[in-house]
Amino acid sequence: MDQVGQTGRPLQGKRVAMLMTDGVEQIEYTSPRSYLEERGATVVLLSPKDAGEEVQGFNHLQPADKFKVEMNVRDANPTDFDALVLPGGVANPDQLRMSREAIDFIRGFDVEAKPVGAICHGPWTLIDAGIATAKHLTSWPSLKRDLTNAGAEWTDEEVVVDARLVTSRKPDDLPAFNDALVKELLMAPGTDPGPTS
């Protein structure tokens, strides 16, 4: 029996921010969102765009669905959320890196020691937020040099958890990524399980 069957909605009352903009890898948004919502979490799509505007999703290089922004990141406060998820796609994190509000928002989760999940190209934003340094993480392989130059320890693994930071490499890793996110959300605030390896 899976986690949903055993305990119903273990994430009831938890609020998760998903920060993204145009160029997001669609499955890296839709899969974690569904997984978290099925377990009772409230998920909010944040973007540097205004609420009601749309974010263009991609399936690799092909335009896919559009998703309605639920809150502009400038109006959001990390204290109002229990975790942050940063989906990948190449253009999405590249644009987020240019948004001071987005980077400040990401940094706020590290300051408050709240879970941050970043997959594929999503960890790129962690460099600008100053939270890749001295962290053990993974990402899409092309980010390895950028992340190690920023002081991170990079390994090629399906999922890496260090402090409250959960990272994965690609869409194939989503089952492990989603499961690790839920485990972090179920952990009491302020507890640090330490690195996974």
Answer whether residue 195 shows pLDDT above 80: no
| Residue 115 resides in a domain | yes
* Domain presence at residue 197: no
| pLDDT higher than threshold 60 for residue 192 | no
Q: Are 116 and 137 in contact (CB under 8 A)?
A: no
pLDDT of 194 reads 53
Q: Could you tell me if residue 9 is inside a domain?
A: no
Structural domain contains residue 194? no
Query: Using CB atoms within 10 A of its CB, is residue 91 exposed (0-12), middle (13-18) or buried (19+)?
Result: middle
Structural domain boundaries enclosing 22: 17-185
Confidence of residue 3 (pLDDT cuts 50, 70, 90): very low
Give the model's pLDDT for residue 188: 72
Instruction: Average the pLDDT over 12-26 and give the result.
Output: 98
- Within-domain flag for 74: yes
Give me the number of domains the chain comprises.
1
Q: Mind giving me the DSSP string for 102-142? A: HHHHHHHHHHTT--EEEETTTTHHHHHTT-STT-EE---GG
Q: How is 147-174 classified by DSSP, letter by letter? A: HHHTT-EE---SEEEETTEEEESSGGGH
Q: Is residue 192 part of a domain?
A: no
Q: What digits encode the pLDDT tens for the residues 68-117? A: 999 999 999 999 999 999 999 999 999 999 999 999 999 999 999 999 99
User: Does residue 4 sit within a domain?
Assistant: no
Q: Which residue has the tokens 């959300």?
A: 185
pLDDT of residue 132: 97
CATH of the domain at 37: 3.40.50.880
Residue 149: pLDDT over 90: yes
Q: Does pTM surpass 0.85?
A: yes
Average pLDDT along the chain? 93
Could you tell me if 18 and 36 are in contact, meaning their C-beta atoms sit under 8 angstroms apart?
no
What percent of the chain is predicted at pLDDT more than 70? 92
Question: What is the set of active-site residues?
Answer: 120-121
**What's the average model confidence in pLDDT over 131-159?**
98
Residue 12 maps to a domain: no
Per-residue tokens: 85: 């998820």
Residues in a beta bridge with 72 = 47
By three-state DSSP, how is residue 189 classified? coil
Contacts of residue 145, Cβ cutoff 8 Å, sequence gap at least 6: none
pLDDT of residue 51: 98
Can you tell me whether residue 77 is helix, strand or coil? coil
- Taking residues 149-159, report their average pLDDT: 98
Question: Torsion over CA of 37, 186, 156 and 146, rounded to 10 degrees?
Answer: 80
